[in-house]
Amino acid sequence: MIRCDALIVGGGPAGLAAAIALRQKGVDVVIAEALSPPIDKACGEGLMPDSHEALEKLGVALGPEDGHCFEGIAFIAPPLCAVAPFRGRPGLGIRRLRLHSRLVDRCRELGVRFHWGSGVAVRRGEPVLVQSESCRYRYLIGADGQFSRVRAWSGLERGKVLSKRFGARRHFRVEPWSRMVEVHWGDCGQAYVTPIGPEEVCIATVSRSPSARMDGVLAGLPELRRRIEGMPAVSALRGAATTTRRLCRVATGNVALVGDASASVDAITGEGLALGFRQALLLAEAVEAGALDLYSADHPSIVRLPQAMSRLLLCLDRWPSFRHRALSVLAQEPETFPRMLSMHLAQESMSKFMLRNGTQLAWRLFTVAPRSTAY
């Protein structure tokens, strides 16, 4: 029998972050993960600047040697191009495999126990089994991703799926041509280009259509296609769904959910990983206080802003004419996009931003004469 204080189901970024945060509080942790490390996943592989603070609290200091820094975000829908540099620290493009290895190393340093290649059977009305082995734990943490079985098993499924889209990613050997993460907007979806190394970029595409796939999205983005034409692909194509999900509760009894299992945001926000790291820290505080209710109560304060931004950005995806107008405003008013990015990263409050700029922005959206800017 496996005995521990906390059994974490799922050893993705959120599960590993939760293990680190709990170990830092002296909790005896076991992670059971169906796959073996390092674990890859379809992802844009961009860590936004607001991830650093949480990662540092977890004792994981990532630097340029782990990937490639990027200095802001560019929205591109030729001929329109709007650029927002970050205020303060840069973001980091990092291969998923590298991120996973760095988190696993930190877990090992702290004495987290692992059961790799161990699918956890979570069946309604039955006890949890790790590879048919029974388990005695004080807390069960579901970090088993968007389609969490722990969520269903523990009765925490009640909530809303606000959006569902389909993503894919692939790496190309090419020198990054921009110091920004580029988000290319097309009618079939978006492609994000994240610099990952001096000679490598990660391209992730996301579309509402399950049949669009990466080629379908890139077909509507000729400028980006030209950039990567003839460049060797250096990884296999991987796909994954991306959702915006809100739950009524993320903890019940001695069970809690973290990461995508607990709440997710569309990939376009670039906030999925940072959210998981922050939730992990919050969960550890609640476990230390012996009150998972605190976690459930404070969880919405972490996800509210990214989910609001997710909905806003998805309006640009859904309505091409709105997108065209919005990008025209952002391209013509170089102050607005950086301030919106600061709001996205919680460096500026959303209500203050809307109070100061909301009316003027709405007016500009209706009156803007779409003009091109050089891409």
Ligand X SMILES: Cc1cc2nc3c(=O)[nH]c(=O)nc-3n(C[C@H](O)[C@H](O)[C@H](O)COP(=O)(O)OP(=O)(O)OC[C@H]3O[C@@H](n4cnc5c(N)ncnc54)[C@H](O)[C@@H]3O)c2cc1C
Indicate whether 195 belongs to the interface with ligand X (CB under 6 A): no
The answer to whether the bond into 222 is cis (omega within 30° of 0) is: no
Q: 281, 21 in Cβ contact below 8 A?
A: yes
Q: 62, 220 in Cβ contact below 8 A?
A: no
Neighbours of 157 (CB within 10 A): 11
Q: What angle do CA 371, 367, 82 make, to 5 degrees?
A: 40
Going by their DSSP bridges, the two strands 2-9 and 29-32 should be labelled as: parallel
- Residue among 120, 140, 282, 368 that touches ligand X (CB under 6 A): 120
- Residue among 91, 176, 189, 276 that touches ligand X (CB under 6 A): 276
Indicate whether 129 belongs to the interface with ligand X (CB under 6 A): no
Q: Of the two residues 306 and 368, which places its CB atom closer to ligand X in the complex?
A: 306
Residue type at 69 in one-letter notation: C
Indicate whether 176 belongs to the interface with ligand X (CB under 6 A): no
- Residue among 4, 6, 10, 299 that touches ligand X (CB under 6 A): 10
Indicate whether 240 belongs to the interface with ligand X (CB under 6 A): yes
Q: 46, 180 in Cβ contact below 8 A?
A: no
Indicate whether 144 belongs to the interface with ligand X (CB under 6 A): yes
Indicate whether 220 belongs to the interface with ligand X (CB under 6 A): no
Residue type at 359 in one-letter notation: T
Cβ-in-10-Å burial (0-12, 13-18, 19+) of 253 comes to: exposed
Indicate whether 259 belongs to the interface with ligand X (CB under 6 A): yes
Q: Distance between CA 335 and CA 338 in Å, rounded? A: 6
Indicate whether 119 belongs to the interface with ligand X (CB under 6 A): yes
Beta carbon of residue 15, minimum distance to ligand X (angstroms, whole number): 5
- Residue among 19, 74, 94, 273 that touches ligand X (CB under 6 A): 273
- x/- letters, 12..31, toward ligand X (CB under 6 A): xxxx----------------
Q: Which residues of the chain form contacts with ligand X (CB under 6 A)?
A: 9-15, 32-35, 39, 41-46, 119-120, 143-145, 149, 167, 169, 204, 206, 240, 242, 259-261, 267, 270-274, 276
